[in-house]
A and B are shown apart, each in its own frame.
Chain A
Amino acid sequence: MDTLVLLTITGLGLGAMYFLIASGLSLIYGLMGVLNFAHGAFLTVGAYATWYAETKLTGIGSVPLRFLVSALVGLAVGAVFAALVELVLIRPLYNRHIEQVLVTVGLGLATTALVQAIWGADARTVAVPSWAGDTTTILGAAIPNDRFVEIATAIVVLVGIQAFLRKTRYGLIIRAGVENRAMVTALGIDVRKAFTLVFAIGGLAAALAGVLSGVYFGTVEPARGTSLLIFAFIVVVIGGLGSIGGSAAAAVVVGLVQQYANYYASSGLGDLSVVLLLGIVLLVRPRGLSGAFA
């Protein structure tokens, strides 16, 4: 029983990170039709900005406070980086999908290579508050506290994005733009501002995933964004392109399947199980769990 509880909460923690990446991917594709292969770079940039700030903010004696300030720096850098990518690289390529794919794939690879060239290929240790490494016992299972932070953060982000989409004018524009971008402009709305905003939100969420991955794994490394991006794409497809709720549900399923398969079947089988799950969902519900753009 305790093993099942540990696997479940760890799977939910992993799913939380997938969701943070997938939410931005899903919004960006839903609104703009851009398959953003550079999304992992937002995570990497956010994670490394956090780590770098930590190494420079040694004047802050309290580790939790230093981590918090560094994380805020990482989030800001991730959001600004993403907004700049939209303004400089994506905006000139609207409706040129092949070029968008080439540019975003290239940016993803270049970012990883650049980070590796500056800080090396080895993983860098992140100094996280000690309580994150402590455990809390639930039903006999000793659960690392960071798992709860990851799950809680993802829930806050999910609720925050839904509230933003439902309660604000920009949220209304984005929901309408996901359905029919041309008609939004035909109402006199400059939809390009919404594009930049969505990229910034996506970059913020991915950078948050980068910060949390540093807590989860205890390190940052250049290829982290790329490796997590693959699963985030699977989550987006399973959840239904453009659907935030669908991405949340799919992230939970993918995280759990991966953990259970790795433990109960064979270590390493988790990734294969996720791919199999993707195949099954595409056969049964080709538009994903949500069944429609939402």
Chain B
Amino acid sequence: MSLLSVEDLHVYLGQSHVLQGVSFDVAEGGVTALLGRNGVGKTTTLRAILGLAERHGRIQLAGEDVTRLPTHKVIRRGLGYVPEDRDVFRGLSVDENLRLAERNGGARYDLVYELFPELRERGRQLAGTLSGGQQQMVAIGRALLNDNRLLLVDEPTKGLAPSLVTEVANVLERLRETTTVLLVEQNLGVVRRVARDVVVLDQGRVVHASPAAELLADRERVHRLLGVG
């Protein structure tokens, strides 16, 4: 059974019909990568799943229809979200950013500090004064603090130095052993390393879905669908 099922998802932003009937499933466990060229609706898909963008269609989480739930209730069903631009609270300290994400007790600070020891050292530092890579650690740390069933991770390597990209990929590799991840990612090296399945969007529609290895082995198709490779 799918952990997440998206059916006929439509999103309008102003006059623009951004998602035009997107449907796909995310199986339990491992990483499913949501791919596509810039502007095809990947980020909008994640936001629509969470209810951050007004949507039509049907979204089921572990068989429960969450389409009509407000964002905070969808999240409380066991979702974690790492947004594209990190969206750390710049005026709050690192500790406060993490504390804000606590819910239902049992916050997993041990795991967060094990993955990102720097966050412990910089606990009192304002998040707005951190580097881009450190802010990404805070953003991922917030999502890992709770024992979520599904993580929605939006371009976690965007704008990071190569060494940090490797570090983020290491974290994703570790996470896929214990949770399910829906990952938006442009870096095919990272996708190749961590993803089990891929879903490709183009112009607001799903144009391909398969095991990741199958797509990535077909260079001509990768080039046609993603414009790279």
Interface of A toward B, CB cutoff 8 Å: 169, 172-173, 175-176, 178-180, 182-191, 293-294
Which residues of A lie under 8 Å from residue B75 when comparing CB positions?
Answer: 185-188
Partner-contacting stretch, out of B31-39, B96-104, B168-176: B96-104
Which B residue sits closest to A185, measured CB to CB?
B71
Q: Which of under 10, 10 to 19, 20 to 34, or 35 or more describes the interface residues of B? A: 20 to 34
The residue among A176, A178, A183 with the most chain B CB atoms within 10 A of its own CB is A183
Q: Are B92 and A183 in contact (CB under 8 A)?
A: no
- Name the one of A179, A191, A294 contacting B89, with C-beta atoms under 8 angstroms: A179
Q: Are B91 and A175 in contact (CB under 8 A)?
A: yes
Asked if B52 is at the interface (CB within 8 A of a chain A CB), the reply is: yes
Bound Cα distance from A190 to B73, whole angstroms: 8
Q: Are A188 and B89 in contact (CB under 8 A)?
A: no
Interface of B toward A, CB cutoff 8 Å: 50, 52, 70-72, 75-76, 81, 83, 87, 89-92, 96, 99-101, 103, 142, 146
> Would A186 and B100 be within 8 Å (CB), given that A172-B92, A175-B89, A179-B89 are in contact?
no
Which residues of A lie under 8 Å from residue B76 when comparing CB positions?
Answer: 188
Q: Which 9 A-B pairs have the closest CB atoms?
A: A188-B75, A185-B71, A183-B87, A176-B89, A188-B76, A190-B72, A186-B81, A185-B72, A187-B101
CB distance from B37 to the nearest CB of A (A): 25
Bound Cα distance from A187 to B76, whole angstroms: 8
Q: Are B71 and A186 in contact (CB under 8 A)?
A: yes
Q: Are A189 and B89 in contact (CB under 8 A)?
A: no
CB distance from B141 to the nearest CB of A (A): 12
Bound Cα distance from A173 to B70, whole angstroms: 17
Q: Are A176 and B100 in contact (CB under 8 A)?
A: yes
Bound Cα distance from A182 to B75, whole angstroms: 12
Which B residue sits closest to A190, measured CB to CB?
B72
Bound Cα distance from A185 to B75, whole angstroms: 8
Bound Cα distance from A270 to B179, whole angstroms: 64
14 A-B contact pairs sorted by A residue (CB < 8 Å): A172-B92, A175-B91, A175-B92, A176-B100, A179-B89, A184-B100, A185-B52, A185-B72, A186-B75, A187-B72, A187-B142, A188-B101, A190-B70, A191-B72
CB distance from B61 to the nearest CB of A (A): 14
